[in-house]
Amino acid sequence: MDHAPFIWTAYAASGLILLWTAIAPLLRQKRARRAIHLLDPGKPTNDSHS
Amino acid sequence: MSTNQAKKPRKNALVLFIHKLGSPPWFYNFTGKLIPWLWLLFGVLAAWGLYLGLVRAPADYLQGESFRIMYIHVPAAWMSMMIYGLMAVMGFIALVWRIRTMEILAMSSAPIGAAFTLAALISGSLWGRPTWGTYWVWDARLTSELVLLFLYFGVMSLYAAFDEPRKAARAAALLALVGLINLPIIHFSVNWWNTLHQPSSIGVTGSTIHPSMLWPLLIMAVATKFYYAANLLTRARLMLLEQDFRKSWARDAINGVAAPTTHGEPD
């Protein structure tokens, strides 16, 4: 039995799950920053805190 | 030295640090500086561990190449249990001492723990097919790990079910504490019942794995700790911003205004 498909699928699936878990809060943070900025539009947003 | 100065108790550095962590603006700024370094350490260690595990380590004499799934499956499974334990401890601290950053850290841990549990289940299933001849069996280890995933989902759902975040965190922390009972069941399941899953190869007294295969595993185990820390702090900062968006410190943080150097009282 060729084991390569099992190995690569395991790494690809785990990698995607962990990648999404890392990226999801960053996308949510962008939306939150935009929403907070709308409440206080007088000042420019600065993404250095992200 | 005046009498007043002599009477004033000195806080030790650790207590002072914990006290500071309770202050949202201080926590937000401190963790903001820490996160890039944690991601960098994770990236370097994961690249090194995967290179050693997938390229340099020899094939297993019994399982052949399929054993290489171990370098993602085992660290993910360890993390799934460690994160649950930490979430319950932080939840306990939040319940007893009502420290809001602890509530936030506990609740931010749940999705990361769920992700590691899912990764462990999927990679384990893909390892099971060439090794056992099946993707899934309802044995004690696999089933208790699946229960862990449902516990994470339960904590996340309960937290999302309340409008008031502090009340939600307390209810979810209580559920996390009850679910702690599952951790020893997962760990000892391979000893208590007959299962297809192999018993632990690494214990306090040593390991049965050859060093050329063991080192990549240990490096990956450390790498996943940095992943958790970086992801946890990113999520905790976001949760703080979302909860405090009407407060001046949150708006200042968003608008790039320097945060106060002094810290407030923990809330």
pTM of structure = 0.89
Contacts across the A-B interface (CB distance below 8 Å)? 104
Higher pLDDT, B116 or B209: B116
B50-98 per-position pLDDT tens digit: 999 999 999 998 898 999 999 999 999 999 999 999 999 999 999 998 9
Q: Do B227 and A22 touch (CB under 8 A)?
A: yes
- In 3-state terms, what secondary structure has residue B118? helix
pLDDT at position B1? 46
Give the pLDDT band of residue B19 (cuts 50, 70, 90). confident
Does residue B47 surpass a pLDDT of 80? yes
Instruction: Provide the H-helix boundaries in B66-99.
Output: 70-97
Does residue B264 surpass a pLDDT of 80? no
Dihedral (Cα; B187, B201, A3, B150), 10-degree rounding: 10
Q: Do A17 and B251 touch (CB under 8 A)?
A: no
Q: Phi, psi at residue B2, to the nearest 5°? A: -75, 165
The partner residue sitting opposite A14, judged by closest CB among B122, B129, B254, is B122
Q: Which residue of B has its CA nearest to A14?
A: B119
Report ipTM for this prediction.
Answer: 0.88
CA distances from B59 to B20, B67, B73 (A): 49, 7, 17
**Mean pLDDT for chain B overall:** 90
Q: Which residue of B has its CA nearest to A3?
A: B66
Put simply, whether B242 touches A (Cβ < 8 Å) is yes
pLDDT at position B22? 83
